[in-house]
Every structure is written in structure tokens, then in C-alpha cells.
Amino acid sequence: MTLQNGMTHGRKAYLWCDTAFWDDQTGELAYHAPKAFQGFGWPFAGTLSTWGGDGYAMVEHIRLADPKGLDELLRIAADAMRWFVIEGGGGRMLLASFEDRPRLHLIPSHEVFPGYAAFEPVELNYYVCSANHTDAFKVAARKGLNPKRMRRVIDAQCVTPFAGHGVLAGLGDRVWIGGNVVRLEVGAAGVTSAIERGA
């Protein structure tokens, strides 16, 4: 599991993720590593929230395919997620891109929203992976998400237990977020990243 948030705001698409990886058997912190990636030919970036396999293999699949635009990226990423599930994994990929305007897409290995099948890219204005019942999220949703309000939502997420998915689901509610929180910004000029919240 991971912190996996995103939104479009102004002329940019944003992603947030943490750096903690959890032991599938115990739910204990296993190690810290990046969960984000970016394209080099045109402005896009992604984050992973996976279980039961090596999510980096999906990133390698996307990089080797070298997508030239958004439609190709979405097709290749969905194919990579299908392969990942066949190999025994599961999860979600959140993609931020810029082609004339900022875009945000979610590709899950399972149904996340009614009416959208697994592996079907869903375009969103924002995505918040957990703690949607907190005051911070309710205020942000009512007033409109922006980077400052998302920071408050993330602060709440970092202390709010929630149920895991996949092999972690049986371990009960706990805080599945840890390490640094990284922010990626995707705009016409490219992709930048920064530490949003230190460990």
C-alpha cells in the first residue's frame, strides 16, 4: 500500500506518494524506496501502489515501450497492469500528464469506481487514496482541492489507519503510509519533484 494522491490544478497535474514498503506477511515496514517514475520524451509521471509482486517491472515495461503520447501511454500502462496481475500482483497506477492541458488517470487492477472495469483508465480531476472521511478531506472537497489543501489532507492521511488491499487486507486497519512524501508536478515544461513532507 502507499499514499497515492493526485489532482489537476491550474496548468499542472500533481502526484503525491510516500516511500514506505510493507512486508506482505507481517504488515511491518520492510524498506524505503521510490514509488514514482517519469517519462523523458514528453511530460508524464506516475505512481504505484502495489502488492504481491515487483511493481517496478511495470515501470520498466512502460519505459521500454517509450510511449509517444497519452493514448499510447494509457494503452501500454493498462497492458503492463494486466501482465502484473497474471504474474500474481495487484494494485493501482496513477498517471499525470500534459498534452495541451494537464490530465490525471487511474489504472487499477480491480474495480475502484462503479461502472469502471479493472484495467480501464479512468480520467479524474483528483484522487485521494484514503482518509476521505476526515475533516481535512471534507473541507478540501467542499472548497476545491489545491496544493495547500492537499497538504492538509496528506497530513491527516499520515496518521489515519485504513484497511490494506490484496494480501495486506487481512492485517487490519493501520497506517500504511511512511517515509518521505514526494510531490511531482507535471506541466508543459516537464516534470519536477520535491519532498512535500519529510519522514
Q: Which amino acid is at 25?
A: Q
Question: Taking the model in full, what pTM does it have?
Answer: 0.95
CA 48 remoteness from chain centre: 5
Question: In the chain, at which residue ranges do the beta strands (DSSP E only) sit?
Answer: 4-9, 12-17, 20-22, 29-32, 36-38, 44-51, 90-98, 102-108, 122-123, 126-127, 181-187, 190-197
Q: Which long-range contacts (CB under 8 A, 24 or more apart) does 118-125 make?
A: 118/85, 119/78, 119/81, 119/82, 120/78, 121/74, 121/77, 121/78, 121/95, 124/6, 125/7, 125/8
Rounded alpha-carbon distances, angstroms, from residue 53 to 75, 121, 129, 161 = 21, 21, 20, 23
The partner residues of 65 in beta bridges, in order of sequence, read none
pLDDT at 1: 63
pLDDT at 106: 98
pLDDT at 36: 97
**What does the pLDDT profile of the chain (199 residues) look like in tens digits?**
689 999 999 999 999 999 999 888 888 999 999 999 999 889 999 999 998 888 999 999 999 999 999 999 999 999 999 999 999 999 999 999 999 999 999 999 998 888 889 999 999 999 999 999 999 999 999 999 999 999 999 999 999 998 877 777 888 888 989 999 999 999 999 999 999 998 7
> What total number of domains does the chain contain?
1
Q: How many Cβ atoms sit within 10 Å of the Cβ of residue 100?
A: 7
Domain CATH for 42 = 3.60.20.10
Rounded alpha-carbon distances, angstroms, from residue 37 to 96, 112, 172 = 10, 22, 29
Domain range for residue 109?
Answer: 4-197
Eight-state DSSP code of residue 183? E
Altogether, the residues listed in the chain come to a count of: 199
pLDDT at 2: 84
